[in-house]
Structure 1
Amino acid sequence: MTALAASHEASHTGDDHQASTAPRADCVADSAGGLTFDVTDPGETGPQGAAHLLLRRRDADPAEDCVRLPLSPSADGRLRAALPSTVELAEGRWNAYAQIAGGEPRRLMPGVNDLRALVDRAPSGSRGHIAVRIPYATKQGNLSVRSWLRAPHAEAGEIELADGAMTVHGRVYGTPLTGAAYAEAVRRAEPGHVHRVEVTSEGPEFTFAMRHTLLADSGPGPWDLWLLPAGESGPRVRLARLLDDVPDKKAIFTYPVARCETEHGVLEAGPYYTLDNDLSVRVREARSA
């Protein structure tokens, strides 16, 4: 990866001030995990003005985690850069810039994002990992890319809520499911406090159920959900929902809660997605009806 001296989005107000004049990039995602960027008006390249699209991982050291992609002339006077699925992009949030002839990088604004190929995506898992890249607009109106790289990966699918329990359906990638598989909920504040439940499986598909009172009896606090596809002898895989076109699910995917009578009072428990789109269960004091 190539180093780039670029400012952090959170620490430079200049990014926001220049947003109205910044170049734009239309993005197209493919089902393999690749992205294509079409940049409009990045600035004059000149006779020796090589142009690049730069992706820099947020909060990384300035000398680390920068991907440099050449921008080549395309239709309608735009410049195009491709991020193939074979180019590794570490998990995190990557800010996008255009740089002309080694000049100062300019923050990109989002244009049109074509993410249709990401809907109901089902990769083969033959590489032993899944790679997800979703372009999105930040709160400041800039273009960034949310990236996940999981090996192996447990994709959470449909979640059924009934009779005070949640039933989770999903699919595992990059490792086989065995008869020893189980799921576990880990209390975030007390990693040694774990509840295990059985898993039923058919090929790479899995299902497990967990009663809310099992977690609520320990009092308020979140629980993180994990899958152990081969039991104690194999990997421990965080459950997450990544294979779609929604970069931030916490506010988008909401679920009903179950009210639980406990020695800690009346609590409510229900599934939710974290800021990293990992699946967890929230237990908190019950709110008024």
Structure 2
Amino acid sequence: MSAKIIKKRKPNRSIAGDIALYFFLLLVAFVMAFPIIYAVSSALKPLDELFKFPPKIFAQHPTLDNFSDLFVTMGKSWVTFTRYLFNTVFITFVGTAGHLIIASMGAFVLAKYEFPGNQTFFKIVTVAMMFTGWVTAIPNYLILNKLGWIDTYWAIIIPAFASPMGLFLMKQFMEGLPTALIEAAKIDGANEWTVFSRIVMPNVKPAWMTLIIFSVQGLWNNKASTYIYSEEKKTLVFALQQIQSGGIARTGQGAAVLVVVMIVPILIFVFSESQILETMASSGLKD
């Protein structure tokens, strides 16, 4: 018997090319990480260092005074910090969960079933992605006002359910799921809900993890000031930005506010990074 020797194919690059490539990637990584590094460093600077010129990137005498001052200021508000936090967490959790469920169910039908108006409906969803929130703000407000949802949590939560981005993302990913897998499950006696919950959703986990990140980022950073007027229903981001706009004396607290606002989306992204990369790698594959 003759054995075939398979040689590992070497990339057509020189050592100098590899070094240049890694240097370029490190440069890009630094440029992308610099805003986060600078924001954290600024939050750790005492007030005198924040006004130094030329500004220093890193804090020379790091301190947590900005964060402690921020929580003291929040504690003096007649609406407690925990109330603002509850409002934001409730809106983010319910809005994300509803958006995930509705977008996944709608995407499953659009991706794996043929019915009259299927393609037309998806084209409408695609067109809807072209309109920013500034364009739809007035129609949204009029509709929510007619429904009596102004100054309630639902003014933020319900529109989040209908975000076209989630439906588009899930539909594109589900199209790559083999139809034979679904048909085999139905032959074995699985109903539609079983197919959806136990076969489809576990196989598109990278897509819905990516959807969760986008949804959390949008809802967590939503000031909701257009639709919510009662102070006890306002979000944490709105309260923190009110502190941030308090003048020069609160510059340090403003730097701390920026870190508090961005920390949750960044942590969710870090823990779900592999799922996002898998979504990008698999979104173009078809059955």
Rg larger in structure: 2
Greater helix share, structure number:
2
TM range (shorter): under 0.3
* TM-score normalised by the chain length of structure 2: 0.20
Q: Which has the higher contact order (CA 8 A, sep 6+)?
A: 2
Greater strand share, structure number:
1
